[in-house]
Amino acid sequence: MSPRRNRPKAAGSSGRGAEDDPAGRYGGWQSSESWQGEDWSVRHVAGASAQGKTYRCPGCDQVIPSGVPHVVAWPEYAGVDDRRHWHKACWNAKDRRTTRVQRSRNAPRF
Q: In degrees rounded to 5, what are phi and psi of residue 25?
A: -70, -15
Let me know: does 68 contact 52? Beta carbons within 8 Å.
no
Tell me: pLDDT of 10 over 60: no
* Confidence grade of residue 25 (pLDDT, cut at 50, 70, 90): very low
What pTM value is reported for the model?
0.62
Phi-psi region of 48 (alpha: psi -120 to 50; beta: other; left: phi over 0): alpha
Q: How far is CA 63 from CA 44, 47, 59, 70, 97, in A?
A: 17, 14, 11, 11, 18
Tell me: pLDDT of 43 over 80: yes
- Lowest average pLDDT, out of 46-60, 62-76, 92-106, goes to 92-106
Note the Cα 30 to chain centre separation in Å. 9
Let me know: does 47 contact 68? Beta carbons within 8 Å.
yes
What pLDDT score was predicted for residue 81?
86
pLDDT one-digit tens code per residue, 74-97 = 988 888 788 999 999 999 888 886
